[in-house]
Amino acid sequence: MTVPATLDNTYGLLFLATIVSSALYGTGILQFWMYIRKYHKKDSILLQALVVSVLICDTIQQALLCHAVYEYLVTSIGDPLILPSVVQTLMIELFFSCAIATMVQQFYCWRIYRIGKNIALAAGVSLVSWTSCVVLIIYSVNAVQLTEFSQVITLEKLSIAANSLSAGTDVVISGTLVVLLHVSKTGFKRSTDLINRLIVFTFNTGLPTSVTALLATICIVAFPNTFLYIFWFLLLGRFYTNSLLVTLNSREYIKSTNESVSREQYSLENSGRPRIPQQQSRDAITIRIDTDTMQDYHASTHEFKAH
């Protein structure tokens, strides 16, 4: 049964999307400020340029969204002809959403290469990301030519393809990173605990974008007459931006947590009893593995540069 379009499930959802998107944008600005404070002297120029580029695109997209909503709900209030019409800024923002998603996904592809040392694997995931980008650009080019929302249904297949590829790319990236981290386990408790934390963190940062893209795909099929799919799609850019910045800002926290846990375990395991040479050797090996694991994980970020 098709859900009929109402003011609540169309422009009401567009208004709510603007509110939620603004909140996520504010979170991204806070994360960017934290990043600049911590890492502007540590990270490579290319990585800092990536962060700034993503934030610029995020800002432009948010501004375009606010303009579109202002046009609908303030400037043209009371004009019955504006509601079925497409305000072009709402479609232009699609290009910036595409740019954000592609830049962030390519960053994660770089991490896959640095952690797995497998060019073919990273290139394959990168190709899926670029395919998603091309499909979304094709969709955006067609979308900016629309004059009424009733015409959006003609782009349903392109929209499904773009969102499905985006969700698929995020799932592949998260899954690949999780597998690479899992196979690096050595059996030592400290290194295993560290890798488990990295796996959970990797999964959590990739989950919002994957779920949001999937929901947008489902909603355009199940509720084509509403703006529910637009609601989810408009949040994608904010989630990508926050995912990138949270990943970058969490490096010191993960490292310090690992060092703190290692010191506590060392103190509990060795207090009140002498250490034997074999135990010293095992401790040294475990600490070395912890260090190597952290170096491999963070090298995928600190050494982000062109080759």
SS3 85: strand
| Residue range 156-200, pLDDT digits in tens | 888 889 888 988 999 999 888 888 888 877 666 667 777 777 787
- Chain-centroid distance of CA 46 in Å reads 19
- Using a CB cutoff of 8 Å and minimum separation of 24, what contacts does 195-200 make? 195/293, 197/254, 197/257, 197/258, 198/254, 198/293, 198/297
Among candidate residues 215, 247, 251, the one with its CA nearest the CA of residue 234: 215
- Asked if residues 210 and 139 have their Cβ atoms less than 8 Å apart, the reply is no
What is the value of pTM for the model shown? 0.81
Could you give the CA distance from residue 88 to residue 67 in angstroms, rounded to a whole number? 10
- Asked if residues 191 and 289 have their Cβ atoms less than 8 Å apart, the reply is yes
Q: How high is the mean pLDDT of the chain?
A: 82
Q: Would the pLDDT of 297 be above 90?
A: no
| Residue range 70-119, pLDDT digits in tens | 998 888 887 777 888 889 999 999 999 999 999 999 999 999 998 888 89
Could you give the CA distance from residue 224 to residue 142 in angstroms, rounded to a whole number? 18
Domains of the chain listed by start with CATH number? 8-265+275-302 (1.20.1070)
